[in-house]
Structure 1
Amino acid sequence: MKKVLFVASECSPFVKTGGLADVVGALPREFNKEYWDVRVVLPNYSCIPWEYREKFEYITHFYMSVGPYIQNKYVGVLQYEHNGVTYYFIDNQDYFTGFYPYDSNIRFDLEKFIFFDKAVLSMLPLIQFQPDIIHCHDWQTGMIPVLMKNEFMGDMFFWGMKSIMTIHNLKFQGKWDIKTFQGFTGLGDEFFTSDRLEFEKGANMLKGGIVYADYITTVSNSYAHEIQSDYYGEGLGGLLYARRMDMQGIVNGIDYSEFDPNTDSTLVRNYNSENFRKYKIKNKEALQEELGLNVDKKAFVIGLISRLTDQKGLDLIDYAFHSIMDEFTQFVVIGVGEQRYEDMFRYYESVYQGRVSANIYYSDELSHRVYAGCDAFLMPSRFEPCGLSQMISMRYGTVPIVRETGGLKDTVQPYNEYIQQGNGFSFTNYNGDEMLHIINYAKSIYFNKKAKWNKIIERAMKTDFSWNVSQNKYENLYNYLIGEFR
């Protein structure tokens, strides 16, 4: 039996702020339990719903010091089995209370996740779980490979254990000044050099994970190549280029049980790739009515479900919006984020009454109805490590219009009208006019060549975005690490 431990700061269904939680929640379930024992550990946040927390079982506790600033802290270990996967929760009331998993005080987040990382390694001998591989996710777990290769190598229990560092979004790295880092970690000056944790005269938690991990993955193949450059590398491009032989991109999957238009209870009419021509329109009309849009089954309805930030290409949308919004087009937005973008969409809703719906909040149920009820789904991202929305939209037969970057480039095959291939539309350069051109091209196919548009939908709905493909690649990687080094 091969053993793997996933370590992350969030995991669906317990706590979720983004795609990281979807990955950590779905991927461990995909492994064949006859050969793989894949478990997950995360903080015991008080914001985890009580319906789960009341079932957590106490396993053990101990007291632990990390650095001079973190002394004699309580560490509780709780356990819960869900959908055939064992989950552990690290408990400490000083760090994991609150209504949100992350704090607005970055310094406090650094302290609590450094504490969490050492607690994870410290608990393993006590619970008698000795993983072959510890799979770390994002900067919050960056100290685990550092500690494994140094402080914990004095214990035979950890000999031969390997670590993988998965980068979900390189923009977030866990950076602070060196003195504070030393206070939290207890690491000596030799660790804060340019070839280790030092970064721009400070310290960088994710960099530590990248330097010390046995292998690095990102959440799409294109993103793995992009982040080796200065433009996308967020200051770590050179390091990632140096480690390119120990790095690959593996595109995320989506949960087919959660995102299935044929069984989705939030829809007014279920449908599949065989009967969408007849029934998808029912969801479009219901969505228009629900959101106060003009009920017009012939309108071209564009959807956008996103964090409202610069990363998502919203400045391009602002630049081209009046040109996008002809009398035959409607636009639906769900999301929260930067105030200027929230206000932008509210303004456009007031200008285009009956044609624009700005939903400045997040609703899981409404998002399902938007995926099902729109004709096209817009993602003009500046960068996109993987992206799940384009895959979900295709699952629901809503044609994606994306910029060719990261996971968007890897998952959306641009439509070619001459050979009749493609499951969406894409543009190359980060340019508002180029985006507008491809939106207009998509409209021309929708309005003038409906049979070909429906073929695009059919190909999109039949594209395999299940976790099976990704799981096989992770399994091969795990076997490589275990076989290569044991």
Structure 2
Amino acid sequence: MKRILFVTSEAHPLIKTGGLADVSSSLPKALADLGQDIRIIIPNYQAIKKTENVQHRCTLRINNCDVNILETRLPESKVIVWLIDCPQFFGYPGNPYHDEYGNAWANSADRFSLFCRITVEVAMNRAYLDWKPEIVHCNDWQSGLVPALLTLEYNRPATIFTIHNMAYQGIFPYSTYNALNLPRQLWNPNALEYYGNMSFLKGGIACSDRVTTVSPTYAKEIQSSEFGYGLEGLLTHRKEFLSGILNGTDKDWNPEFDSNIVQRYSHKTLHHKQTNKAALQERLSLPLEPSIPIFGLISRLVEQKGIDLLLECLPELLSMPVQFVLLGSGNKSFEQRLYNFAEAYPEKMSITIGYDEQLAHWIEAGSDIFLMPSRFEPCGLNQMYSQRYGTLPIVRKTGGLADTVVDALPHTIDNKTATGITFNESTPSSLLEAIKRALILYRVPEIWTQLQTNAMKKDFSWNSSAKQYLSLYDHL
């Protein structure tokens, strides 16, 4: 049994802005199921959903701040969660990265450097918790100072740093480094210094014993200038210590047991999927047309997700006998253009701006085809959810999308491994060609049903991924 401290800025259902929260809940629970002693450490934001039985464990003084460590458990699990409680930094409305008005926190460096310092105290058993981890598993830039600070400690735990998205690096000017009163030894190109600035992400990559990312293909991609965001040289230098482990999917995303959907089903009862399709059409005021394919999309509406490519394709897509449903939010100009299309095609298109957990499940269960034209995607979860629900994904062949979706080609259809449609170029024409290929297959029911069955039989559970992490821990 390993003692593991899991360091994250968000964890579902306590607080969630994206996929990191799902991983930070599901992976610790999967490791606990494998018999590991794992604890999560996370800031106690005002927006955190309060849980029962929160206990005060201790108070530490760091940089003239009194910081409380509170203890609770991850809901519906035995995983202990330590909440870093410092109201002057975390006690304001908003989410981990933005205030209530959507602006990035002006003091993000102060917030997360304090979080990292407290984490180091916990990791070195100086926080009166009587528990010292053997492994400290850090996630994304918000925890990047932890491996760097631990390099200065004697008899420290081993460190792993997982990159969930290279696009977010936590870069701040040298003046911020000085203001944070960080150790001078860390201001060098082998630690936090990054072209005259400070990079939290670089600290995690340069100073950890092992670096992982969330898919094997993304681990290769980030060693290139296209995906490395200026750190490809460092990642290439550390490639012997870099690996990609696919994320798994949460147990809640399974049509056999999903309490959110109208009718549960499996690959053996695929005809029940039609009940969910009809319910989705009715809920979104679309014509009840069982034979017309529904395209679904659940996403942040930003360029990374290829929303601009989709907008270029929409006029031709909506000229076909299809329906299109979308759930998401993001770029305001994208939102407005989508609204305009929905007003022009009310019988074919429905958009919901924001996020609705139940509607997300309905879209996965009721759609026939799922669109995910991301320019890059470190891992992605919706393409895996979609396959589980027999909703065949159309994805760009990148990152985790390339690792999890098998393109429907003559030989993969014949050998029953095909589970979706992939395309290579990040262009509207390539996306449109993939959409047309999907529609051709949709019109051949025996092939389409086989593809759905192939997809639904794939194992995307956390069990396999958790065992890979455990093997990495054992190696360390």
Compute the displacement of 1:472 (Å).
0.9
Mapped contact 1:178–1:192 kept (Cα < 8 A): no
Q: 2:157 aligns with which of 149, 161, 166?
A: 161
Query: CA 1:195–1:120 in structure 2 vs 1: closer, same or farther (change >3 Å)?
Result: closer
Q: 1:243 aligns with which of 233, 238, 243?
A: 238
Compute the displacement of 1:319 (Å).
1.4
Compute the displacement of 1:393 (Å).
0.9
Compute the displacement of 1:149 (Å).
0.5
Residue of structure 1 equivalent to 2:30: 30
Q: Answer with 316-325 or 127-136: which moved more.
A: 316-325
Partner amino acid, structure 1, of 2:133: P
Compute the displacement of 1:3 (Å).
0.7
Residue of structure 2 equivalent to 1:454: 449
Compute the displacement of 1:96 (Å).
1.0
Residue of structure 2 equivalent to 1:56: 54
Corresponding residue SS for 1:408: helix
Corresponding residue SS for 1:275: helix
Corresponding residue SS for 1:127: coil
Counterpart Cα distance in 1 of 2:107 and 2:114: 11
Q: CA-to-partner distance for each residue in 1:237-295, whole Å, 9 max, x for gaps?
A: 11101010001000000112x1121222222211111011x210111111111101111
Mapped contact 1:10–1:20 kept (Cα < 8 A): yes
Residue of structure 1 equivalent to 2:139: 137
Partner amino acid, structure 2, of 1:56: V
Compute the displacement of 1:91 (Å).
0.7
Q: Answer with 354-363 or 41-50: which moved more.
A: 41-50
1:411 pairs with 2:404: yes
Mapped contact 1:139–1:172 kept (Cα < 8 A): yes
Counterpart Cα distance in 2 of 1:468 and 1:182: 43
Counterpart Cα distance in 2 of 1:62 and 1:199: 31
Q: 1:299 aligns with which of 278, 292, 301?
A: 292
1:39 pairs with 2:39: yes
Mapped contact 2:32–2:38 kept (Cα < 8 A): no
Residue of structure 2 equivalent to 1:68: none
Compute the displacement of 1:33 (Å).
5.7
Q: 1:444 aligns with which of 440, 444, 451?
A: 440
Q: 1:93 aligns with which of 78, 87, 92?
A: 87
Unaligned runs of 5+ in 2: none
Mapped contact 2:166–2:228 kept (Cα < 8 A): yes
Match runs of 1:471-486 below 5 Å? 471-481=466-476
Return the TM-score normalized by structure 1. 0.93
Partner amino acid, structure 2, of 1:57: Q
1:102 pairs with 2:97: yes
Counterpart Cα distance in 2 of 1:168 and 1:412: 19
Query: CA 1:33–1:391 in structure 2 vs 1: closer, same or farther (change >3 Å)?
Result: closer
Corresponding residue SS for 2:249: coil
Residue of structure 1 equivalent to 2:335: 342
Counterpart Cα distance in 1 of 2:451 and 2:318: 23
Partner amino acid, structure 2, of 1:352: Y
Return the TM-score normalized by structure 2. 0.95
Compute the displacement of 1:418 (Å).
3.8
Residue of structure 2 equivalent to 1:216: 211
Q: 1:74 aligns with which of 41, 66, 85?
A: 66
Residue of structure 2 equivalent to 1:484: none
Q: 1:171 aligns with which of 162, 167, 173?
A: 167
Counterpart Cα distance in 2 of 1:96 and 1:416: 51
Residue of structure 2 equivalent to 1:120: 119
Residue of structure 2 equivalent to 1:234: 229
Query: CA 1:193–1:107 in structure 2 vs 1: closer, same or farther (change >3 Å)?
Result: farther
Q: 1:428 aligns with which of 412, 424, 430?
A: 424
